[in-house]
Structure 1
Amino acid sequence: MVTIENQQLRLTIHPKGAELQSIFQKEFQTEYMWSGDPAFWGKHSPLLFPIVGTLKGNTYNYQGNAYSLPRHGFARDHEFAVETQSAESIGFLLKSDAATKKNYPFGFELRVIYRLNGSGFSTTYRVTNPATGPLYFSVGGHPAFKVPLAPGTEYTDYYLEFDQTENTPRWPISKDGLIDMPAQPLLNNTRTLPLTKDLFAKDALVLKHPASSGVALRSKKTERGLKMDYPGFPFLGIWAAPKADFVCLEPWCGIADAVDSSQELTEKEGIQRLESGETFGRSWTLTLF
């Protein structure tokens, strides 16, 4: 484990998957991250790369060859090297190797950088293509935040508040983990989504191109909450395991295959194409209150 901290905040990160393990706010003496209880879901904030979600048949095709990748890819299961570190920031690096190229035939450098900023922090994903040909990939976050956050409050005391009025449906997920259709009503001329544990009975809420680039976790019974800003991420997942005391707010540059996917990687919805020598970057920020 590695730790960075300032006067207000302490982050703990595991080099495996460069996975955030703890977000502790010192003034409030409050832990904001889900505990990772394996009885419900044994992760905290897995990194999604080089795909987000599930492939149709767990398989994609590229240049006439078929390859297999598990749901959300492999980065979360690999040890990252600590590339840079200071008191208030840390950068992790994962590079392609012979093992990754067996089922993902691309050269890549994947960096994850955490940087404290007063009462919040940023998480940056940076993908560089060191190879001569194009790099196709998706990347996204999957952080799980503890709910309830304050003593004396319950899960249903909390709600999500988007920074814009939303008229956005959810895209259902099939039994095979694929994006199904048609879209189903979810947010109709509203900025708020009350949290209930039944909300995720049919898996995650998947939003495509919401009007908002930020969402807050709030409650009328406590001042404790958080705000996530995710500019440049075209998809948002919202999820919790059955009966678990957390909610995941997941900014994605990529999405699971649709049920009618061609399985051609270059045609995949949300796929990013990066030319030789180029670098792609996206950041989401968290403000705690």
Structure 2
Amino acid sequence: MAKIYQIENSVLKIAVSEKGAELQSLVDKTTGQEYMWSGDPEIWGKHSPVLFPIVGALKDNTYQYEGHSYQLNRHGFAREMNFLPVGRLADELVFLLKQTAETLDVYPFEFDLKLKYRLDGKMLTVTYDVCNTGAQKMWFSIGGHPAFKLPLFKGDAYAEYYLEFEEKEDAGRWPIEEGGLLASAPVPFLNNTPVLRLNKGLFAKDAVVFKELKSRKLALRSDRTKMGFDFSWQGFPYLGLWATPGANFVCIEPWCGIADGVGADGDLSKKEGIHALEPGRHFVRSWSVTIFS
């Protein structure tokens, strides 16, 4: 059984598992309201996995690097590994993952991956810090996958909720084809609007994937209540929205990386959304959730 770590301030309380350094719970202490999906294993047994060292699927689950072929499953391996707790303050938790003999078999790079959870009033900030600890350039992607329960409040209906972007958006949805690969072109989706209504049919054909949003902040709101949360994602060029079809949650997923397209050739260094990190350098990105009422 994975160990769970908790911190809290006067407003929020969170719980994080050592497995995947995965956020399990986000509670508003003033109301007792839980904001995270329960992780029901009969539906989808995750809460907020970290996606590393790839985001999404590879074509045939395979990539090539320096003349060698490697196998990696969708979203990589970090979400299934135990992280080491390396820092704990009253309002902050830090976890570390390093390469192992097993990861080097499928991903030939040495790294430190730190996840930091910090509370500041009504805001939770989650930070990814990737450091290249090897002697060669490192290629990677990273992303978030937090799942929020929906409806949030008793008596609400799923379809009473919507996402409100900070900007009016003209953005296509990139369909996901067989094998989890992105289609070669988007289809029309958002038409000069800041609002995306949520309904359980939205994810019947997998995630809603955006490449060209202007917004870096949105709010989850309800027609029936003023309570909800803001979600911000600076420095992440892609955003995914997803739920298991028919399930009572919605994932809001900021990504530095994206699934292979149907025409991908498997070369890791040419993969869309891939990042190159020189030895000794860090790559740091954060996303935040701020509850409101």
Question: Which TM-score band (shorter chain)?
Answer: over 0.9
Aligned to 1:131: 134
Q: 1:99 is paired with a residue of what secondary structure?
A: helix
1:173 aligns with 2:186: no
Overall identity of the aligned pairs, in %: 52
Aligned to 1:20: 23
Given candidates 5, 11, 19, the residue that maps to 2:14 is: 11
- Return the alpha-carbon distance in structure 2 between the equivalents of residues 58 and 100 of structure 1: 15
- Return the alpha-carbon distance in structure 2 between the equivalents of residues 30 and 89 of structure 1: 21
Partner deviation per Cα, 1:182-220 (whole Å, 9 max, x = no partner) = 211111100000000001111000000310001111012
| Residue identity matched to 1:208 | K
Give ranges in structure 1 of 5+ residues lacking alignment. none
Given candidates 87, 90, 93, the residue that maps to 1:90 is: 93
Aligned to 1:37: 40
Aligned to 1:196: 199
> Normalised by the size of structure 1, how large is the TM-score?
0.99
Aligned to 2:286: 283
| Residue identity matched to 1:9 | L
Give ranges in structure 2 of 5+ residues lacking alignment. none
Shift of 1:164: 0.8
Given candidates 217, 238, 244, the residue that maps to 1:235 is: 238
| Residue identity matched to 2:215 | S
Shift of 1:132: 1.2
Given candidates 50, 55, 60, the residue that maps to 1:57 is: 60
- Return the alpha-carbon distance in structure 1 between the equivalents of residues 72 and 107 of structure 2: 8
Given candidates 255, 258, 265, the residue that maps to 2:258 is: 255
| Residue identity matched to 1:267 | K
- Contact 1:160–1:216 at 8 Å: present in 2 too? yes
Given candidates 196, 219, 222, the residue that maps to 1:216 is: 219
1:114 aligns with 2:111: no
> Normalised by the size of structure 2, how large is the TM-score?
0.98
- Contact 1:88–1:115 at 8 Å: present in 2 too? yes
Given candidates 210, 224, 228, the residue that maps to 1:225 is: 228
1:184 aligns with 2:187: yes
Shift of 1:150: 1.3
- Contact 1:40–1:242 at 8 Å: present in 2 too? no
| Residue identity matched to 1:251 | P
How many residue pairs match? The answer is 289
Q: What is the CA RMSD across the aligned residues, in angstroms?
A: 0.7
Q: 1:136 is paired with a residue of what secondary structure?
A: strand
- Return the alpha-carbon distance in structure 2 between the equivalents of residues 95 and 151 of structure 1: 42
Partner deviation per Cα, 1:86-136 (whole Å, 9 max, x = no partner) = 111010000112111001000110000000010111000000011111010
